[in-house]
Amino acid sequence: MPAFMCPYGGCSMKLSPDLHTDLATGVVDRDIYTSEKIFALEKERIFTRTWNYACTTRDLKKPGDYFTVSIADQPVLVVRDNGGEIRAFHNACTHRGAILTGERCGNQGQVLKCMYHAWAFNLKGDLVGVPYEEGYGQDFDRGAHGLKPVHCDTFHDLVFVALRPRVPSLTDFLGEMTDYLAPYVQGIEPIGRNSWIYQGNWKFWHENFRDDYHAEFTHRSIRDLLAGTAARGWNWGAAPGHSVLQWAFPPLDPPKYARALQRFSGVDFSDGTMPVGWNSMLAQGPPGPPEGFEGAEPPEIRQEVLALFPNLDIQPGPKDTPRGMKAGYIQTVTPLGVDRARVDITVYSDIEDDEATRQELLENLADTQGSWGKLSCDDTEAATRCQIGVRGEGGRYNLFTRGVAPGRGGEGADVRDEYSQREFFRVYQQYLQDES
């Protein structure tokens, strides 16, 4: 177990496993992004012991609707049974282990039938069909070969699963986020989905959604189109391990916006014609979309990112607007290797929205986030560059030390502070060091 002499605080402490800094200080050992040993521990001690977001309840509208996820490399299937209950199972046939479905989501009717030797399971996981069963002899017990259940719970419209029995209750796990999160995740419905893989550690992605230091620099589209973003805001590390960023967009200046668009695109918008979707930010905020940019006086817009340990973030629309509570993104990052991860984004809207509204929202929201989105492309490049850089000997630590007042931030903390990140690493370290 290495002894750690903090280069910033001068404290000395014993750390395990193989961490050279106290991550809760925000001085983060780069080994956590490159070490295969630490990556294995993350799967064993974090992802198997936490509640993991799987899908929304409206991904499972009718009996037989299922959704699949991978947690710590373990395939898991969530399904709604005939009584309306949502259940989760290991997505592995009890005969010889074949996954029962390789699809992300779908409906196979009343039974989940394995494609290999056709063993069949009902929606409660009971084994209900075994071809040529007599070959196993009289003592064969179907009851001993049901699908292995996985813990499953819901928080309003969100479905979570947990691999190990010894997890806190879901509301204890959500902790200080419970009440804050609740209004955002009621009455929402998925309207689109997008996934992609990048070459970088999973934490580089998740960190990015607890970080508002980068936005005006990494995202030129934000800097040029929404100059002054994050002029005001706050940063809160919500125990245990979660965070909220909130910041304000200044009112858009449509003529200035048009000039910036022209610079990007070369298209002349000076006649007042604007491209479809230009007002997507406005369309979500009060008092509704302006007819045209001429003379429009949009209000200041407040935006948030709610991040949940270990790998989920929710980006609802602008705060305190009926539209904002019910349109946005749910995003997870799934580790595929120490330097490879998959991002899954779900775009959601209000269950009351009609088809036309959903389509417009989907187009507007997918314009910024998603494998082709303006912002996601920038963030993917940042994560990839970080992974390449930390492989070398160019530095030992990554810094998350912005915001020097004690505590976990909150209102009054600058949005560019990093209480959000330190709260993540405080809890990350606790899980990693828990040998029980």
Cβ proximity to Fe ion: between 218 and 433 the closer is: 218
Is 304 near Fe ion (CB under 5 A)?
no
- Give the one entry of Fe ion, ligand FES, none that residue 95 binds, where binding means its C-beta sits below a cut-off of 5 to 8 angstroms depending on kind: ligand FES
Q: Is the dihedral of CA 176, 53, 413, 326 positive or negative?
A: negative
CB of 119 to ligand FES, least distance (A): 4
**Chain residues 387-406 in contact with Fe ion, contact rule CB under 5 A:** none
Nearest residue to 309 (alpha-carbon basis) of 232, 397, 207: 207
Size of the site for Fe ion (CB under 5 A): 1
Which residues on adjacent β-strands are paired with residue 304? 246
**Chain residues 386-425 in contact with ligand FES, contact rule CB under 6 A:** none
Tokens read off for 141: 């017990």
Which of 116, 136, 217, 264 is the binder for ligand FES (CB under 6 A)? Answer: 116
Nearest residue to 225 (alpha-carbon basis) of 181, 265, 256, 269: 256
Question: Residue 139 is which amino acid?
Answer: D
- Give the one entry of Fe ion, ligand FES, none that residue 216 binds, where binding means its C-beta sits below a cut-off of 5 to 8 angstroms depending on kind: none
Which of 117, 220, 385, 391 is the binder for ligand FES (CB under 6 A)? Answer: 117
Cβ proximity to Fe ion: between 17 and 228 the closer is: 228
- Residue with the shortest CB distance to Fe ion: 379
Question: Residue 287 is which amino acid?
Answer: P
Is 313 near Fe ion (CB under 5 A)?
no
Q: Is residue 176 helix, strand or coil?
A: coil
CB of 68 to ligand FES, least distance (A): 16
Is 216 near Fe ion (CB under 5 A)?
no
Q: Before 310, cis peptide (omega within 30)?
A: yes
Is 96 near ligand FES (CB under 6 A)?
yes
Is 379 near Fe ion (CB under 5 A)?
yes
CB of 132 to ligand FES, least distance (A): 11
CA distance 319 to 234: 13
Q: Is the dihedral of CA 115, 123, 96, 340 positive or negative?
A: positive
Is 418 near Fe ion (CB under 5 A)?
no
CA distance 340 to 70: 14
Q: Which strands form 149-155's sheet, in the order they lie side by side?
A: 52-56, 158-162, 149-155, 86-90, 74-80, 65-71, 105-107
Question: Residue 155 is which amino acid?
Answer: F
Q: Which of 88-96, 207-215, 282-290, 319-327 is the region at the interface with ligand FES (rule: CB under 6 A)?
A: 88-96
Cβ proximity to ligand FES: between 113 and 416 the closer is: 113
Tokens read off for 101: 């479905």
Contacts with ligand FES, residue ranges (CB under 6 A) = 93, 95-96, 98, 114, 116-119
Contacts with Fe ion, residue ranges (CB under 5 A) = 379
